[in-house]
Structure 1
Amino acid sequence: MSVPVSWVLSQPDLAIPLRGGAAGIGRTIDLVITTELENPFRWLSGGELVLTTGMRLPATPEARASYLRRLNERGVAAVGFGIGLSHAEIPEDLIRTADDIGIPLFEVPLPTPFAAIVKRVTERSAQLQYDALLRASRAQPRMTRALVRSGARAIVRELATSLRATVLVLDAETRITDVHPDAPDDELLHTIRTALASDPAAASGVHTVHGQSITHQRIGVGGRVHGDLVVVSPAPLSAVDQILLGHANSLLALDFEKPARLWEAQHRLNSTVLGLLLSHETNLAPAWTHLAQAADAAGRIRVLAADCDTLDAVDDIRSVAESMAVRSGHPLFLHLIDRRIRVVLPGVAAVAFARELAADLSPITSRAVRFGLSGEHPLPELVTATDAASMAAAAAERGSAPSEFGALTGRSLLSFDSTRQVLDTLAKTMLTPLTDHDSAHGTELLVSLRAYLEANGQWETAAAATGVHRHTLRKRIATAQDLLGCNLDSARVRAELLLAILAGGN
C-alpha cells in the first residue's frame, strides 16, 4: 500500500525536515530506494522515495536542476538528501528547483540511517495493506448480508462506507437508481456520464477529472447489461478497494439477475391473485393487499387488454410481457382466459409499457391482436378499469397501437359490432323516405337534416354549414319532418336520427 509523504515527514524519531517542494507532500510512496548513480532514471518506474547523499550529484546548478527535474518526470514521489557526508547541507539551487516543480525534498541528518527510513516506510505499507485487507474481509460479508436483507440500496451504502467515497448505480440509460451518501450535483453527474460515454464498449474504467477519480464497472451477466457501478473518490482506488468494488458488482448483478424460476413463480402467484379479484369472490383482503404492488405511488392503476385471435399470439404476448417485467424489476399481474389477456399496470407507466409491448411483438402476432387500455383508476376500481380496457380493445384495429378508452368519446357506440348492427337497421328503417325523396327530386334533405342535428338545432350555424339561407333550411327541415313522420322538437328523436345518419355513413 502507498504511504503518504506527509506521514513520513511527521515521524519525530526520523527527524527529516522538509526543505523544498511543499506543494507535493500529498504524493504517496510505493517503494524506497537508495542510489548514488549519476543517471538512475532508467531504473525508476514512479512512486519511489529516492534517498541519496549526493555523492555523484552534478557540479553545476543547471545540471543539478536537470537531475531533479528528470527524477520528477519519472514519477518519483520524493527525494531524501543525506547531509554530513558528501554535502554539509542541501544546495540552495536544488531547494529552489524542488519548489518550482513541487517535488518534496527533505533533509536526512547524519544520525538518521537510510535503513531506518526504509524500514519505517515498509512497516507502514504492510500495516496499511493489512488494515485494507481486514476492512475488505469485514465489508464483504456485510454487503452479502445487505443483499439478502435489503437489496441493492444497502449494498451501495456498505460500499460507500467502506471506500469512504460516493457510490452510484446508473441504469442502462445512465439514470441514477441508487446513490450514497449524497447525489452528485449536475456538473459532476455530467462528468460521470461523459466518462461512461467516452468508451461505451469498456466493461470498466478509471478517469481522473478535476482532481477526482471516477472508477466504473459495468453491471451485467452474459449479454445482458443492467447499468454501471460508479465510485467517485479523491484518489484512485487501491487494489483492495478494487476487490471490494468487484464483490459489490457481483452482488448487484445477482440482484438484477434473479433466477428465472423465482420470476415465473411470482408471475403465477400474481396471475392467481388477479383472477381471484376479477371473480368477485368474497374475503379477498389479502389479495387486494398483494395487488397493491401493481399501483403507482398515487395508488392508481390502468388495465391493458389484449384480445388474441390465436394461441400463438397469446404465448407471444405473455412471453414479451414477462421479459419486460423482469427487465424493469416490476411485478407482473397478468390474467388469461379464452385468449383474452388482462394486465394490471401502474397508472403513470402504463402507456409506455403498452406501447413497448405492442412494438416488441412479431408482425404475425401484431396482426392477430387488438389492444385496449383503460384510463387511470384507484386500485379498488379494478373491475371498472378492466371493463373499460375490454371495450377499448373491442373497438381497436388489429395491428394498431393500443386504443385508449378515453379516446372513444364521441365514437364508442359506432365502434362495437353489436350496437352498429342496431344502428344500421335504424338507419335503413328511418332514413329511407329521405334518401328516396333526394334521389327522385335532386334535393338535399338528408344533408340538411344532419347539419341541423349536429348544430343542436341552431339555425344560423346549420345554415352556414350547408351554405343556404336559414329560411331555406327551415323549409327543408319541415319537409324532412313530414316525410319521417316524427317530431324534431324531441331530444330523443334528434339523438336517434343523428346516430342513424352517422351509422349509415351519410
Structure 2
Amino acid sequence: MVALSQLLALPDLGLRLLQSGPGDPELSWVSTTELLDLSEYLEGGEIILTTGLTLEADDPRWRDFVAVLSRARVAGIGFGIGVNHDRVPAPLVSAASVYRVALFEVPLPVPFIAVSKAIAELMRADELRAARGALRAQQRLLDRSRGDQDPAEVLANIAQVTGRQLGLLGSDNTVLASTGGFASVRDSVGTEYISLDAEGSLRLAVVGDTPLSPEGRSVIAAGSMVLGMGLRGDRLEETRERERWERFTAGLLSGREQPHSLAILNPSLQLPALVRAIAVQGTAEDISAWRHRPRSGLDRLIAASQSPPRAAGLALAWQLCADTDAAVEGALKVAANHQLDAVVGRSAPVTNTALSYRSASTRLRSLSVTAPLYTAPRTPVVIWADRDTPLLDALLSMGDPQGTEEGSRRRALGAHVLGPLSLASSELAEHERHMLRETMSAVFQADGQRGPAATALGIHRNTLRDRLTRIERLTERSLADADDRSELWFALRLEEIADEG
C-alpha cells in the first residue's frame, strides 16, 4: 500500500501540503486533467494533477470541481503553480477545506510527469515488498509442512499476511482450529470457503469483506495445501481410527455399547441426547467411497452393515447422527452426493439407539434393489420411518423395547401363532424351519403372488405350492384368509425384532 504521505515525503519533488484530508489515503493511480468533471473516469484513490487552465483565480466553480472529486473519493489534488496561476487559488484551498480533500502544491520546476513517475515507482516498490513478503510466508508454510505444524499455527501465519480471520472446519462443520477472532465473525457476510479435499469434508473459512490482493491469495493457496496435506495424515493411522469409531457405532446400534464409552475415543466430544440411525444403500463402490471420505467429530459415527447385501452388487452401511434438522440434512446431502438411498430411523434417546436402528431396518424393504444398479441418472430415495410408521413399529414403540419381560411377551405371542415355525420351537430341524420361514416371507414381499415369490426363491411353482401347503398345516392358518395372513406376518416380525433386540 502506497500512502499520500510517502509521496509528499520525497525530497526531490518539493511538494507542499496545503490542506490535509481524512487520514492518510492510499494511492491507486495518478491522472493529469484540466476538465472540470472527470468523475466518470475515476474509481477512487487517484491523485489529480491540474494547473487550473480553464478557471480564473476567483472563479466560483472551484468549489464544484472539488465537490465532484470528493464524491469520487480521490486521494488528493496536486496543483501546479507558475503555469496558469502564480499561486494556488484561494477558492480552491477553501473548497478543499470544506470537502476535506487533500491539496498540495507542485512547484514550477517539477513537471507533472515527474510526480507520475514517482507514484509509479512507489507502487512498484510496494508490490515488490508485498511479493517478497508473500514468498517468504509461502516458504515458511511449505518448509514446515515437512514437520508437525499445528493447524492453528498455519492459520496464524496466513492471518499475519492477509489480515483475515480464518477457521478450519471439519465434515460436520465443527471448528477444528481458528484464529482468535474467528468465532465472533464466523457467519459474517463475505465469508469464503475453500475445500481442502475432493469431498469437501475439510474446509478453510476466510472472513473478510474487502478483495484480497494477489499476494494474499497466493499465501492462502500455499496454506491450504499445507493444511490439506497435514490433516489427511498417515493413511494407516486413519484406517485404524476409522475402525475404532465403526466398532463403537456398531455397538451403539446393537445396544451392546454404552454411550459413555465415547470418552475412550474422544474425551472432549459428547453425544447428543436424541439420535437417529440412518441406513444408506447403494453400489458397493459408492458405499466404500462414502465410508472412506474424511470425517471429523460426530460425523465419524458410521458402521458397516453386519447383514448380507440384499442383492449382488449392493452394500449397506449405517450412520448415527444428532436428531437435529441440520445434522440429518447434512448426512442425507452427503449420502445423496454418493448416489446412496437412505432410510432415516425414528428419533430415540442415545441410551436406546437400537430403537432407531430397528425402525430403520424395518423400512429397508421399501428401497429398490435394482435402481441403484441400473438407473442413471437418478435421484436417491429417502424414507423416514417416523413419517410413515407401520402399525407394527408403532405398537412396538410402546413400553420398554429393551426390557426382558417385554421381549419374552413378544416371543411368546410369535410362538403362539407360528407354532412349529417359531424360533422357539424344536419340532422341526433348523434348516427346515428356516426354509419355510423364508418361503413365507418371500410370498408376503411378493404381495401374495406365487410366480414372483417362486422366482425370488429360485424354486419351481409346484415346489412353492407344496411348501405353502405345509406351512398352512403346521400353523393351522390359511394364507388365503386375510386375517390369517396378517397374523402370520405380524408374528414373523415380532420374532425378528425380538431376536434383534
TM-score normalised by the shorter chain: which range applies? 0.5 to 0.7
Listed as ranges, the matches of 1:33-72 within 5 Å are: 33-35=31-33, 46-58=44-56, 60-72=58-70
Which shifted more, 299-308 or 138-147? 299-308
Tell me which residue corresponds to 1:17: 16
CA contact (8 A) 2:168 2:177 kept: yes
- Root-mean-square deviation (CA, aligned residues, Å) is 5.7
Distance change in 2, residues 1:72/1:298 (3 Å): closer
Tell me which residue corresponds to 1:412: 403
- Per the TM alignment, residue 80 of structure 1 is displaced from its structure 2 partner at its CA by 1.3
- Per the TM alignment, residue 79 of structure 1 is displaced from its structure 2 partner at its CA by 1.3
Aligned-partner residue type, residue 218 of structure 2: I
Listed as ranges, the matches of 1:313-462 within 5 Å are: 322=291, 326=295, 331=300, 334=303, 337=306, 339=308, 375=350, 398-399=362-363, 400=385, 409=400, 412-413=403-404, 415-416=406-407, 420-422=410-412
Q: What is the TM-score of this pair, normalised by structure 1?
A: 0.53
Gaps of 5+ in 1: 197-215, 280-289, 377-387, 427-506
CA contact (8 A) 1:274 1:291 kept: no
Aligned-partner residue type, residue 326 of structure 1: R
- Per the TM alignment, residue 178 of structure 1 is displaced from its structure 2 partner at its CA by 4.3
Distance change in 2, residues 1:57/1:231 (3 Å): farther
CA contact (8 A) 2:348 2:356 kept: yes
1:156 aligns with 2:155: yes
Aligned-partner residue type, residue 217 of structure 2: Q
State the distance in 1 between where 2:10 and 2:287 align.
69
Tell me which residue corresponds to 1:434: none
Gaps of 5+ in 2: 252-260, 310-315, 364-384, 417-501
Q: What is the TM-score of this pair, normalised by structure 2?
A: 0.54
Report SS of the residue matched to 1:398: helix
CA contact (8 A) 2:278 2:345 kept: yes
Question: How many residue pairs get matched?
Answer: 370
Aligned-partner residue type, residue 420 of structure 1: R
Tell me which residue corresponds to 1:229: 205
State the distance in 2 between where 1:221 and 1:325 align.
8
- Note the alpha carbon deviations across 1:382-423, whole angstroms, 9 max, x for none: xxxxxx7668857987134699x999648723543x553458
Aligned-partner residue type, residue 232 of structure 1: G
Distance change in 2, residues 1:46/1:173 (3 Å): farther
- Per the TM alignment, residue 49 of structure 1 is displaced from its structure 2 partner at its CA by 1.8
State the distance in 1 between where 2:413 and 2:137 align.
73
Distance change in 2, residues 1:156/1:344 (3 Å): same
Listed as ranges, the matches of 1:57-136 within 5 Å are: 57-58=55-56, 60-110=58-108, 112=110, 114-136=112-134
CA contact (8 A) 2:168 2:176 kept: yes
Which structure carries more strand by proportion?
1
Aligned-partner residue type, residue 117 of structure 1: V
- Per the TM alignment, residue 127 of structure 1 is displaced from its structure 2 partner at its CA by 1.6
State the distance in 2 between where 1:124 and 1:100 align.
29
Distance change in 2, residues 1:106/1:291 (3 Å): same
Distance change in 2, residues 1:297/1:307 (3 Å): closer
- Per the TM alignment, residue 10 of structure 1 is displaced from its structure 2 partner at its CA by 3.6
Which shifted more, 216-225 or 108-117? 216-225
Distance change in 2, residues 1:52/1:374 (3 Å): closer
Aligned-partner residue type, residue 229 of structure 1: A
State the distance in 1 between where 2:154 and 2:177 align.
10
CA contact (8 A) 1:294 1:331 kept: no
Distance change in 2, residues 1:407/1:135 (3 Å): farther
State the distance in 2 between where 1:357 and 1:337 align.
21
State the distance in 2 between where 1:114 and 1:393 align.
79
Question: Which of 206, 212, 215 matches 1:240?
Answer: 215
Percent sequence identity over matched residues?
20
State the distance in 1 between where 2:306 and 2:225 align.
40
- Per the TM alignment, residue 93 of structure 1 is displaced from its structure 2 partner at its CA by 0.8
Distance change in 2, residues 1:25/1:86 (3 Å): farther
State the distance in 2 between where 1:262 and 1:99 align.
66
Distance change in 2, residues 1:406/1:300 (3 Å): farther
State the distance in 2 between where 1:411 and 1:42 align.
77
State the distance in 1 between where 2:286 and 2:404 align.
28
Name the larger-Rg structure: 1
Aligned-partner residue type, residue 413 of structure 1: T
Tell me which residue corresponds to 2:441: none
1:167 aligns with 2:142: no
